[in-house]
């Protein structure tokens, strides 16, 4: 399979490396020192499941790609508008496009940019990987699966591409439920770690931690239900158990970016929950507070670089 990964950060680089290791023809859209290191030494993956290194093609823009079977969108949510024309280019040359972005609006935003819905699919990636140095990514935690809508056009291509890898491909009848479940995981982790000392252990160690975790989850899922998505009542306990399995030293990508003084995705995560909560009359005080903490810190260090 000819696969293009648009957005080769921590997750995108890991997915691209796995696909290349499985024998696919992988191209990463990547720039800067990360690209320089990959082209010089290959892409290195560090993981408790085993380290490996692969050679992959790098380009600065998807406009340099003449054709592809599959394109995986793995940028930050705030970068989607910047790469929409590149995705249109790939779709026009035969690629099916699967979004692995956080949030709940990626496919609608791509369709609004003129990309045919028939070539698009929402995907939910349950993998955690960070870029730890140029040319090197490290996978955290043991989970690695991608969930797609059963009716999505790219399903067969995605299955073929990941055949023989450790990444499980699952399909569901309503991807919206899965998107909101992932939203509950990512937003709750981001809010709790923002309120705590930036890792899950700090939250668990506090007497209020258990209750706050459940309240954060409930805020997200209540907003999802108010938005018209049929989220089962048992999902709250499911997400609570999922968060319990994260190790004490774990922190989400929002906190990772905050620690590195980079732009975060909080605008499409906690802020989106707060905005939708207000629109539907659902209180979201924890997401209001967590978003405030992250965005004030982000604004402070952004000012320092101006």
Q: Rounded distance, CA 169 to CA 163, Å?
A: 9
CATH number of the domain enclosing 262: 1.10.1040.10
Across 81-106, average pLDDT: 94
**Gap between the Cα atoms of 284 and 273, Å rounded:** 7
Q: Are residues 206 and 285 in the same domain?
A: yes
147 and 201 assigned to the same domain: no
Do residues 211 and 95 both lie within one domain?
A: no
pLDDT band at 306 (very low <50, low <70, confident <90, very high): very low
> Are residues 284 and 151 part of one domain?
no
* Burial environment of residue 169 by CB neighbours within 10 A (0 to 12, 13 to 18, 19 or more): middle
Question: Which pairing describes strands 120-133 and 136-149: parallel, antiparallel, or unpaired?
Answer: antiparallel
Element (H, E) at 82: helix 80-92
Taking the CA atoms of the chain, what radius of gyration do you get in angstroms?
19
Q: What is the mean pLDDT of the chain?
A: 93
pLDDT > 70 fraction of the chain, expressed in percent and rounded? 99
Q: What is the pLDDT of residue 301?
A: 85
Cα–Cα nearest to 282, from 239, 236, 226:
226
Q: Are residues 277 and 154 in the same domain?
A: no
Asked if the model's pLDDT at residue 304 lies above 70, the reply is no
Give the total number of structural domains in the chain: 2
The separation between CA 64 and the C-alpha centre of its own chain, rounded to angstroms, equals 25
Give the pLDDT of residue 305.
53
Question: What pLDDT is recorded for position 292?
Answer: 97
CA 246 to chain centre: 17
* Higher-confidence position of 262 and 198: 262
Nearest Cα to 223, choosing from 193, 188, 256?
188
**Residue 124 structural domain:** 2-172
**Residue 56's domain is classified under what CATH number?**
3.40.50.720
112-125 mean pLDDT: 92
Q: How confident is the model at residue 154 (pLDDT cuts 50, 70, 90)?
A: confident
Considering only residues 130 and 278, tell me which one the structure prediction assigns the higher pLDDT.
278
Q: Which residues contact 51 (CB under 8 A, 6 or more apart)?
A: 44, 45
- For 220, half-sphere exposure in the C-beta direction (CA atoms, 13 angstrom radius) is 34
Whole-prediction pTM = 0.88
Q: Domain boundary residue among 133, 152, 172?
A: 172
Residues 11 and 74 in one domain: yes
Compute the distance between CA of residue 159 and CA of residue 146 in angstroms, rounded to an integer: 10
User: Is the predicted pLDDT of residue 143 greater than 90, yes or no?
Assistant: no
Residue 291 has pLDDT above 80, yes or no: yes
Residue 35's pLDDT band, with cuts at 50, 70 and 90, is very high
Q: Which two tokens stand for residue 141?
A: 């935690």
Q: Are strands 120-133 and 96-99 parallel, antiparallel or unpaired?
A: parallel
β-sheet bridge partners, residue 120 = 97
As a whole number, mean pLDDT of residues 224-253 equals: 95
Q: Assess whether 127 and 202 both reside in one domain.
A: no
CA distance 7 to 101: 10
**What's the confidence (pLDDT) of residue 162?**
95
Domain boundary among 127, 146, 172: 172
Domain match, 80 and 155 both = yes
Verify that 156 and 254 share a domain, yes or no. Answer: no
Q: Report whether pLDDT(288) > 70.
A: yes
Give the pLDDT mean for 236-245. 96
Both tokens assigned to 227 = 């938005």
Q: What is the mean pLDDT of residues 99-125?
A: 92
């Amino acid at each position: 399979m000819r696969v293009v990964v648009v957005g080769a950060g921590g997750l995108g680089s890991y997915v691209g490396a796995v696909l290349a290791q499985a024998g696919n023809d992988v191209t990463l859209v990547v720039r800067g020192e990360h690209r320089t290191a990959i082209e010089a030494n290959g892409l290195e993956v560090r993981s408790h499941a085993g380290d490996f290194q692969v050679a992959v093609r790098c380009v600065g823009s998807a406009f340099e790609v003449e054709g592809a079977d599959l394109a995986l969108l793995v940028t930050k949510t705030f970068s989607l508008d910047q790469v929409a024309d590149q995705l249109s280019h790939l779709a026009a040359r035969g690629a099916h496009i699967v979004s692995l972005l956080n949030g709940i609006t990626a496919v609608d935003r791509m369709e609004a940019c003129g990309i045919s819905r028939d070539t698009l699919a929402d995907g939910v990636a349950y993998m955690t990987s960070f870029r730890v140095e140029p040319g090197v990514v490290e996978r955290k935690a043991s989970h690695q699966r991608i969930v797609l809508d059963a009716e999505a056009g790219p399903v067969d291509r995605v299955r073929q591409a990941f055949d023989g890898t450790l990444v499980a491909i699952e399909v569901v009848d309503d991807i919206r439920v899965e998107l909101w479940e992932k939203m509950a995981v990512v937003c709750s982790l981001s809010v709790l770690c923002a309120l705590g000392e930036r890792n899950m252990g700090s939250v668990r160690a506090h007497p209020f931690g258990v209750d706050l975790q459940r309240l954060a989850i409930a805020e997200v899922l209540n907003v999802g239900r108010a938005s018209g998505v049929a989220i089962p009542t048992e999902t709250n306990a499911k997400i609570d158990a999922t968060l319990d399995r994260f190790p004490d030293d774990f922190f989400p990508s929002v906190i990772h970016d905050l620690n590195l003084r980079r732009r975060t995705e909080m605008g499409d995560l906690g802020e989106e929950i707060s905005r939708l909560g207000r629109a539907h009359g659902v209180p979201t005080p924890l997401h209001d507070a967590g978003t405030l903490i992250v965005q004030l810190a982000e604004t402070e260090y952004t000012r320092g670089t101006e």
